[in-house]
Amino acid sequence: MPFLLTEQVNAIALIAALAISSSVVDCSPFSTNGALVVANANETDREMVFKRPMQWGMSIVVIAPVVVWAVMVVPTA
């Protein structure tokens, strides 16, 4: 991370942005928590229980990093 050494980006804000971005996708069916929820769903609801968190996880993967970067990193730069 050589660009952190240039002090153009606040390291604390960058680390916080990465932590928030990585934790908001925890409800994805591919995460431990998401897999447990899908595994414990009723057989009739399992497809819906898989699809909804999958849609959430895929959309938040794109949206969360941009929003967190704009809120936490850009103002400190």
Give one DSSP letter per residue of 38-57, joined into a string: HHTS-TTTHHHHHHHHHHHH
- Measured between alpha carbons, how far is 77 from 63 in angstroms, rounded to an integer? 21
Report how far residue 17's alpha carbon sits from residue 68's, in angstroms, rounded to the nearest whole number. 5
Q: Quote the pTM value.
A: 0.59
pLDDT per residue as tens digits for the range 22-31? 777 677 888 8
Instruction: Give the tokens for residue 41.
Output: 């769903």
| pLDDT digits 0-9 by tens, 32-74 | 888 898 999 999 999 999 999 888 888 887 887 788 788 877 8
Tokens 């898989």, located at residue: 50
